[in-house]
Structure 1
Amino acid sequence: MKIYKRQSVEKAIVLALRELGGSASRKTIRRAIAENEYDGLTYEQVYYTKKGKTGKYSPFMFDFNFGLRNLFSVGYVEPLKRGEDIVLTDLGRSDDIINYPTKIQTDEINSYWQKQKAAKDKAKKIAAEDGNDETVDSTDVQDSADNNWKTELLDQIKKFSPAKFESFSRLLISKMEVSIDKVKGVKLSGDHGIDGFGYFRSDEFRTSRVAIQCKRYTSGAVGESEIRDFKGTMDSFNAEYGIFVTTSYYTDGAKKIAMQGNRTVTLIDGQELTDLVEKYQLHITPVNTYSLDNYYYEKD
């Protein structure tokens, strides 16, 4: 595994946003950077987690949030709003970023952070005078909390036994309205190179046969050979399409093989797996809270 080292990720953010049409959520930008390896960043580096005092965290996200503010300071992105998409400005869409940051941009970034420090020092002074030593952190708390519980979730799934992971994957896929065949999908699948088989009804008249494969990887990527073997096994079941689930991620070759031919394979990686657990509320307990919107942070 390539361990992430703290670095500037602004170029990667701009490249991802340009590819995504100029506007996207933080989660979508992060995923685009990981999948396309913008500015040399790999999937493993972007999603690398490290143990801290209060649990695991993502070093990349520190640089990501820091980088967004740098991009705002040089006029590449519009004002950052909590819970809203990041949007490129006209300058961010068209400017040449090969030499980013230029001397002028470096000065603009330094000036921005000096102003931020002065404002924070003033807030601390006022808080101290009021007898309150706590100040509001400008970090998007909701986004950090979302990343933290999903990191813990993926870590726990990786510790599943092979049998439990297969059972978990079938349960999740059944929530996605695939009816698991109790004979082919459970009793026979283990002897035929797949981990599940079922049926998906897309409308009143069409039902498709679906093959399922699950790979619980703690590190490394699923390669094209695994997808090619799976597609071969799909033929023996006469499956019209397949679903491949992993706790890891997929190589570019694997993604290409998955889309070739008449029988395509839907690839679900570790990050999407946690999103689906959230979507279908699979053995998780929601915790209701509130986050303040920009109204409370805007200056008069």
Structure 2
Amino acid sequence: MSKPTLHEYIRPVLTIFEDGARHSYEEVFRVLGERYDLIRRDTPKRVTMMVNAALGYLARAQVLTVTNRREYAITERGYELLRTGPQLITLAELRKFPEFDEFIRSRYRGSVTRCGDAASANSVPEDAIEEAYHQYNTELAERLLTRVKQCSWQFFEMIVKDLLVAMGYGDPSDEGTMCKGPGDEGIDGVIKADRLGLELICIQAKKWEQRVGRPEVQKFAGSLESRRAKKGVFITTSGFSDEARIYVQQIEKRIVLIDGPELARLMIEYDIGVSDSSSYRLKIIDSDYFGGSAS
């Protein structure tokens, strides 16, 4: 059974404070053992490291606050994270809070080799490597998005099409499914959701600096009707307003919004505009080999 990662500890630790009471490290350790199987899956020394790391990072992100008695309490930000945050709360998620992002940047600025330390001051080597990997990809995504924003709209069209094909949509041999929008650094198109073209997906992609608001998304939703499409993907190199995101959750048609950071993340995941640099194989002790070695 594999040992839980630091990310798997963060939400369970935070959930303990949902009752609004203050809790010490010892109480957190005890409740974790009662509610979750994390402790049973881990070694005592490593549990101590992971719980300390989770509490420390949640406090750095001002999700928890620390009292003079070395007890922790949840903040309004913590309640909001429990309500709206992902099930697996990663350090990348915590970096959305400016205080935590500044802590990471100021302490480990410009050092990929020390990114593992940024994962957790109490991390074990495997977790340090994992966090270094996530940190490297975060910085890679930022650089990649900058390059995408510098591309011509023709090259941007190719990026969008290559990504969608890599994700399993459209046909690589099907040309001419996209066209430039009317003078707005945008692309409009339709791709097949399957090879037979039984279902169509409308595409809108805009290489913008300003955020995309509800009117643009609403206009895109209306265009789906004329093309007899029930699904759409709206991609931008910038971001979407809160009103735009709320709107797509309220309508019957299924529209996926992909902002700049998500676009870069998907390009990395599907190897669009990036290539492998180096790979490392981690070794572990083969317990089966040493099964009969005891004297």
TM-score by length of 2: 0.54
RMSD: 4.3
The residue correspondences of 1:30-179 to structure 2 (distance < 5 A) are: 30=95, 34=96, 65=118, 80=123, 140-179=131-170
Pair 1:182–1:16, CA change in 2 (3 A): same
Q: Does structure 1 retain, via aligned residues, the 8 Å contact 2:178–2:190?
A: yes
Give the drift of 1:247. 1.4
CA distance in 2, matches of 1:23, 1:16: 15
The residue correspondences of 1:162-201 to structure 2 (distance < 5 A) are: 162-179=153-170, 182-183=175-176, 185-186=177-178, 190=181, 195-201=188-194
CA distance in 2, matches of 1:194, 1:239: 17
Give the drift of 1:81. 5.1
SS at 1:272 equivalent:
helix
**Percent sequence identity over matched residues?**
22
1:11 aligns with 2:63: yes
Pair 1:142–1:260, CA change in 2 (3 A): same
Q: Does structure 1 retain, via aligned residues, the 8 Å contact 2:217–2:244?
A: yes
CA distance in 2, matches of 1:164, 1:255: 27
Pair 1:238–1:292, CA change in 2 (3 A): same
CA distance in 2, matches of 1:55, 1:222: 34
Aligned counterpart in structure 2 of residue 239 of structure 1, from 229, 232, 250:
229
CA distance in 1, matches of 2:123, 2:149: 35
Give the drift of 1:252. 1.5
Give the drift of 1:288. 2.2
Q: Does structure 1 retain, via aligned residues, the 8 Å contact 2:214–2:243?
A: yes
Aligned counterpart in structure 2 of residue 278 of structure 1, from 259, 263, 268:
268
Identify unmatched segments of 5+ residues in structure 1.
1-7, 70-78, 85-136, 296-300
CA distance in 2, matches of 1:54, 1:27: 17
Pair 1:237–1:168, CA change in 2 (3 A): same
Q: Does structure 1 retain, via aligned residues, the 8 Å contact 2:159–2:272?
A: no
SS at 2:193 equivalent:
strand
Name the residue aligned to 2:89.
Answer: 24
CA distance in 2, matches of 1:287, 1:160: 23
TM-score by length of 1: 0.53
Pair 1:22–1:278, CA change in 2 (3 A): closer
Pair 1:10–1:139, CA change in 2 (3 A): farther
CA distance in 1, matches of 2:254, 2:211: 19
Identify unmatched segments of 5+ residues in structure 2.
1-59, 65-76, 286-295
Q: Does structure 1 retain, via aligned residues, the 8 Å contact 2:212–2:239?
A: yes
Pair 1:23–1:139, CA change in 2 (3 A): closer
Name the residue aligned to 1:92.
Answer: none
Q: Does structure 2 retain, via aligned residues, the 8 Å contact 1:16–1:29?
A: no
CA distances 1:257-282 after superposition (whole Å, capped 9, x unpaired):
22333322111111211221122111
